[in-house]
Amino acid sequence: MNRRDFLKGLVGTSYVVLSGSSVLAPLNALAASGAKAGDGWLTTGSHFGAFKMKRKNGVIDQVIPFDRDKYPTDMINGVKGLVYNPSRVRYPMVRLDFLLKGHKSDTSQRGDFRFVRVTWDKALSLFKDSLDEVQTKYGPSGLHAGQTGWRATGQLHSSTSHMQRAVGMHGNFVKKVGDYSTGAGQTILPYILGSTEVYAQGTSWPLILENSKTIILWSNDPYKNLQVGWNAETHESYAYLAQLKDKVAKGEIRVISIDPVVTKTQQYLGCEQLYVNPQTDVALMLGIAHEMVAKNLHDTKFIEGYSLGFDRFLPYIQGETDGIEKTPEWAAEITGVSAEIIRDLAKVMTQSRTQMLMGWCIQRQQHGEQPYWMAAVLATMTGQIGLPGGGISYGHHYSSIGVPSSGAAAPGAFPRNLDEDQKPLFDSNDFKGTSSTIPVARWIDAILEPGKTIDSNGSKVTFPDIKMMVFSGNNPWNHHQDRNRMKQAFQKLECVVTIDMNWTATCRFSDIVLPACTTFERNDIDVYGSYANRGVLAMQKMVEPLYESLSDFEIFTRFARIMGKEKEYTRGMTEREWLNKLYTDCKNANAGKFDMPEFDEFWKQGYVHFGEGKPWTRHAAFREDPEINPLGTPSGLIEIFSRKIAQYQYDDCPGHPTWMEKSERSHGGPGSDKFPVWMQSCHPDKRLHSQMCESEQFRETYTVNGREPVYLNPDDAKKRGIKAGDVVRVFNNRGQLLAGAVVSNNFPKGVIRIHEGAWYGPVGEDGSKEGGAEIGALCSYGDPNTLTQDIGTSKLAQACSAYTCLVEFEKYQGKVPSVSSFSGPVEIAL
Ligand SMILES: Nc1nc2c(c(=O)[nH]1)N[C@H]1C(S)=C(S)[C@@H](COP(=O)(O)OP(=O)(O)OC[C@H]3O[C@@H](n4cnc5c(=O)[nH]c(N)nc54)[C@H](O)[C@@H]3O)O[C@H]1N2
Ligand SMILES: Nc1nc2c(c(=O)[nH]1)N[C@H]1C(S)=C(S)[C@@H](COP(=O)(O)OP(=O)(O)OC[C@H]3O[C@@H](n4cnc5c(=O)[nH]c(N)nc54)[C@H](O)[C@@H]3O)O[C@H]1N2
Ligand SMILES: [Mo]
């Protein structure tokens, strides 16, 4: 559908498109609308770091790191732009045709970005009416409000909790299991190592630095990824990375980064880089295992005492089960790593204290369960699991894992669920024979194919018929795969509600958009140091909420009021009283162990410090006595063969780790004849997903020609006549986008990178924002999820497989359209 057809759809309705200037107020006007409170330095925190802010004339003036953050990231330079930016949602708005026709609206217009301003009362009552309609017509299976994401730090205003508690007071809804980060890993590892591992505290860095002789960074870029943390981050891991760099230089620790690209960490540490063909790590690991067995390097005593099923796995390595011996030569052919290097790795890993540090990216691909399982098998074969500086970790690149925890109790959060005695307005649990919980990344499948039954982790899931979605604190039009498929699915929805502070692509594809204020426009508390849990931080309000934005607490308190449930919702407490309660509960839990002042004193001080923690070795108790301290697996041992998984009889996840070809793979794999290039959509160096992309001046520090960078190998670029700075069109059968070329030797032939989180900015053939609703529209800024594949990893985890993705690219020849991502909607006055 083009712009003309849209306009045709509006015949009989009189409307005016408001001029850009009223939508785009200048920065000083933005600031002035928030100018109320007094000036001075205040303390607050974010995923990017804890910091101090100076307020001058009621406006945020300066941002400097928190005293206890010795390794701040340059992303704090973008923080001011999170508050003052042209993408802010200024007032509640409703999609034009939804305002006119409600649940009978023309949903093919969804995404044309035409919105009408309404009052808070109007927006909230439309929201409530929609929930009424869906619960009445379809029951709880018609509503999905279960998606989560990287909502801002702060335990009180935790936006997803507010939305889910309030919507839950109205009625039940579909929820999700798992997450996009570690979906495959957290599903397979409980079968293998007895816990999800990915979010567990890991062996402490001091012990690794003291004992490891070899560290393998496998699909892992901690120097980049530790910049952000789940809580108010203080970046203590970087002190250990600095020590590691020193030891690498002195030759005391050998670090090998196994990755198709040269990572930021590899460059920082000055360590070895081992190129591997994308998505082929399982073959590499099998080749190493084969060599260990062939040379009798593996620790048979450890395997016997601590694991189960090696005898079922060995015939696979030796080719007795499928006729293919997994020799280093076999692996070399698939992986692009020479047989000699594979043999060397087998020797190094078994003959020196070796710590494997797995990143998460490798499991966000088809069969993503397998590399995690096979890595656990390799670690078992080295016999080093449970030794300080040996064995395997699945988390040292995340949120200060590996920094010894203080051991203190952390403050609790605003409740996400209903209190025990509370009942929803629509008190039904009838999901009409469909599942009330679905794997997190399968919601678009559900919308497109309601009633379909799929396998999932040993059970069956039947997709509910979803008619309405509510999003808060997450940005699915960033995090989910395959935009054009999402457009098809969204046309089937009757109503979409989003609560955000910015006009994200999710808001663009919604019907009701409610403006939340940023975390810097309200008071809150959180832990600082993430996994280090180093202390509690007062997150002091910097400025009053801009425009008509409200805190998530206030939005849903008002919503609860409409339901007649305000007091039930807030438990009769104000923001201040809640903060006091969360803090004082924490103080009481720590009584006798950690000294904490009274709340008022804490608030004045800005933080309370818990102190250092004790170093710790993961899996050490199990190693010491596997009978007294068994793993949480069915056998209590490491399961190299899992009888439980074998019993599921999944063709894409058999009973032991297995190399399986991918549906799309570069370097000679399936699909590479047509689309020869592997696109990786790794986590951004200068953002947290889509957050911070709105920060204008900061964005300009890395964009190319106003677009998201696409990193290209020099030969690949030359072959296509592309120079640094050119606008490039990247495409496949699923979609197309524009991005700005960065030519770099860090990227091998046949591999390109576009960081996830680049704001989706579709435009029509005429370059218009309205035309962006069309299926197949060009993304003007460079969102890689325009191109990624929306398939489950396997029948086991059904997780996100964004990295099984092939593309082609060319120099863009057409007229380059303006970027449509950041300027907010086309505002219509009726
Ligand atoms: N291709 C590809 N896709 C991926 C990945 C990948 O590697 N490649 N990675 C996946 C992973 S691991 C993850 S974790 C997801 C991330 O996906 P998300 O967590 O959905 O991504 P964010 O961009 O952090 O979205 C958070 C949203 O919450 C909003 N928000 C922040 N604070 C508040 C608040 O206080 N109140 C309200 N109401 N809203 C707030 C922000 O403005 C933002 O729009 O992406 C996944 N998608
Ligand atoms: N700065 C910043 N830090 C972040 C985030 C952010 O958005 N920004 N997000 C946070 C979140 S939510 C998460 S889930 C984590 C993500 O953590 P990860 O998923 O581990 O991070 P990535 O940087 O996407 O990928 C790590 C490395 O894997 C490599 N890789 C990809 N595919 C393959 C493969 O097939 N084989 C091998 N050997 N290597 C491969 C990539 O080249 C990359 O160098 O990061 C967290 N940290
Ligand atoms: Mo994540």
Non-local (6+) Cβ contacts of 145 within 8 A are 163, 164, 167, 168, 173, 174, 469, 470
Ligand nearest to the CA of 276: 2
DSSP string, 638-677: EESS-HHHHHHTBTTB-SS------SS-STTSTTTTTS-E
H helices present in 352-441, as ranges: 369-382
Q: What's the average model confidence in pLDDT over 320-339?
A: 98
> Tens of pLDDT along 97-122?
999 999 999 999 999 999 999 999 99
Same domain, 327 and 445: no
Q: Which residue has the higher pLDDT, 39 or 786?
A: 786
Query: Could you identify the atom of ligand 2 that is nearest to the CA of residue 755?
Result: 24
> Could you tell me the distance, in angstroms and rounded to a whole number, from the CA of residue 476 to the centre of ligand 1?
7
* Distance between first and last Cα of the chain: 23
Instruction: Name which of 720, 728, 823 is nearest 784 in CA terms.
Output: 728
pLDDT of res. 306: 98
Residue 516 forms beta bridges with which residues?
550
Dihedral pair phi/psi, residue 48, rounded to 5°? -85, -15
- Per-residue pLDDT at 57: 87
Helix (H), strand (E), coil (C) string for 255-270: EEEECCCCCHHHHHHC
What DSSP element (H or E) covers 477? helix 476-479
- Whole-number pLDDT of residue 22: 38
Quick one: 259 and 361 in the same domain? yes
In terms of domains, do 722 and 791 share one? Answer: yes
Assess whether 490 and 374 both reside in one domain.
Answer: no
- Distance between Cα 691 and ligand 1 center (Å): 7
pLDDT of 156 higher than 70: yes
Continuous H helices in 590-642: 599-605, 620-624
* 248 domain-assigned: yes
CA distances 64 to 44, 74, 542, Å, are 11, 10, 14
Residue 36 to residue 544: CA distance in whole angstroms: 7
The predicted-structure confidence for 1-56, as pLDDT tens digits, reads as follows 444 444 444 444 455 665 443 333 444 444 444 444 467 899 999 999 999 999 98
C-alpha of residue 681 to centroid of ligand 1, in Å: 14
Looking at residue 39, what is its pLDDT?
A: 78
Does any domain span residue 264? yes
Q: What does the mean pLDDT of the chain come to? A: 95
Whole-number Å distance, alpha carbon 168 to ligand 2 midpoint, is 34
Maximum Cα interatomic distance, the chain, rounded to a whole number of Å? 81
> How close is the Cα of 38 to the center of ligand 1, in Å?
33
Tell me the per-residue pLDDT of 462-509, one tens digit each, with 9 for 90 and over. Answer: 999 999 999 999 999 999 999 999 999 999 999 999 999 999 999 999
365 and 508 both lie in a single domain: no
CA of 713 to the centre of ligand 1 (A): 29
Whether the per-residue pLDDT at 624 is higher than 70: the answer is yes
Cα 664-665-670 angle, rounded to 5 deg:
65
Are 122 and 224 part of one and the same domain? no
569-605 residue pLDDT tens: 999 999 999 999 999 999 999 999 999 999 999 999 9
Of the three residues 609, 624, 659, the one that is the final residue of a domain is 609
Burial 366-381, CB ≥16 within 10 A → b, else e: bbbbbbbbbbbbbbbb
The pLDDT tens digits of the residues spanning 718-766 come to: 999 999 999 999 999 999 999 999 999 999 999 999 999 999 999 999 9
The residue type found at 575 is E
Q: Find the 181 Cα to ligand 3 centroid distance in Å.
A: 4
Q: Are 782 and 739 in contact (CB under 8 A)?
A: yes
477 CA distance to ligand 1 middle (Å): 9
Q: How far apart are CA 780 and CA 736, in angstroms?
A: 9
CATH number of residue 714's parent domain = 2.40.40.20
Please report whether residue 8 resides in a domain: no
Nearest atom in ligand 2 to the alpha carbon of residue 278 is 35
Q: Is residue 694 part of a domain?
A: yes
pLDDT for 34? 45
pLDDT of residue 6: 45
Residue percentage of the chain with pLDDT more than 90? 95
Q: Are residues 151 and 194 in the same domain?
A: no
CA distance 67 to 230: 19
Average pLDDT over residues 514-525: 97
Q: In this structure, are 604 and 641 located in the same domain?
A: no
Secondary element (H or E) of residue 282 = helix 281-294
Q: How far, in Å, CA of 498 to CA of 110, rounded?
A: 13
Instruction: Read off the tokens for 788.
Output: 């990624």
For ligand 1, atom 27, the nearest C-alpha belongs to 474
Q: Which amino acid is at 777?
A: A
Q: Where are the alpha helices (DSSP H) in 336-437?
A: 339-351, 369-382
Q: How many domains does the chain have?
A: 3
**Is the CB of 519 within 6 Å of ligand 1?**
yes
pLDDT at 794 over 60: yes
Residues having CB within 6 Å of any atom of ligand 2 = 181, 218-221, 224-225, 227-228, 258-261, 263, 276, 278-279, 281, 359-362, 397-398, 680, 682-685, 687-689, 803
For the Cβ of 522 lying below 6 angstroms from any atom of ligand 1, the answer is no
User: What integer pLDDT is reported at residue 297 of this predicted model?
Assistant: 98
Cβ–ligand 1 distance for 473 under 6 Å, the answer yes
Residue 745 lies in a domain: yes
| 206 and 114 share one domain | no
pTM (predicted TM-score): 0.96
Q: Which long-range contacts (CB under 8 A, 24 or more apart) does 584-589 make?
A: 585/411, 585/412, 586/409, 586/410, 586/411, 586/412, 586/536, 589/409
CB of 180 closer than 8 Å to CB of 504: no
Q: How far apart are CA 37 and CA 56, in angstroms?
A: 10
Helix (H, G, I), strand (E, B) or coil at 470: strand
**The CATH number of the domain where 574 resides is what?**
3.40.50.740
User: Does 570 share its domain with 640?
Assistant: no
CA of 682, closest atom in ligand 2 = 24
Same domain, 167 and 188: no
Residue 10: per-residue pLDDT: 45
Residue 180 has pLDDT above 70, yes or no: yes
Confidence grade of residue 380 (pLDDT, cut at 50, 70, 90)? very high
Return the pLDDT at 601.
Answer: 97
Q: What is the CATH number of the domain that holds 277?
A: 3.40.228.10
Query: Cβ contacts of residue 344 below 8 Å, gap of 6+?
Result: none
Q: Give the domain range for residue 795.
A: 677-821
3-state secondary structure 56-121: ECCEEEEEEECCCCCCCCHHHHHCHHHHCCCCECCCCEEEHHHHHHHHHCCHHHCCCCEEEECCHH
Is 801 a pocket residue for ligand 1 (Cβ < 6 Å)? Answer: no
Query: Does any ligand 1 atom lie closer than 6 A to the CB of residue 552?
Result: yes
Q: What are 234-267's pLDDT values in tens digits?
A: 999 999 999 999 999 999 999 999 999 999 999 9
Q: Is residue 10 part of a domain?
A: no
489 with 517, same domain: the answer is yes
Instruction: Say whether pLDDT at 524 is over 90.
Output: yes
DSSP 174: B
Q: What is residue 30's predicted lDDT score, i.e. its pLDDT?
A: 46
- Residue 62 pLDDT: 92
pLDDT > 70? residue 776: yes
Q: Please report, as a single letter, which amino acid is at residue 784.
A: P
CA 90 remoteness from chain centre: 26
Cα angle for residues 643, 644, 650 (degrees, 5° grid):
100
Question: Which residues fall inside 5 Å of ion ligand 3, going by CB?
Answer: 181
Answer for the pair 95, 770: CB distance below 8 angstroms, yes or no.
no
Q: Which of 239, 82, 209, 99 is nearest to 150 (CA)?
A: 82
Determine the pLDDT at residue 12.
43
For residue 619, being part of any structural domain is answered with: no
pLDDT digits (tens, 9 = 90+) for 71-92: 999 999 999 999 999 999 999 9
Residue 49 placed within a domain: no
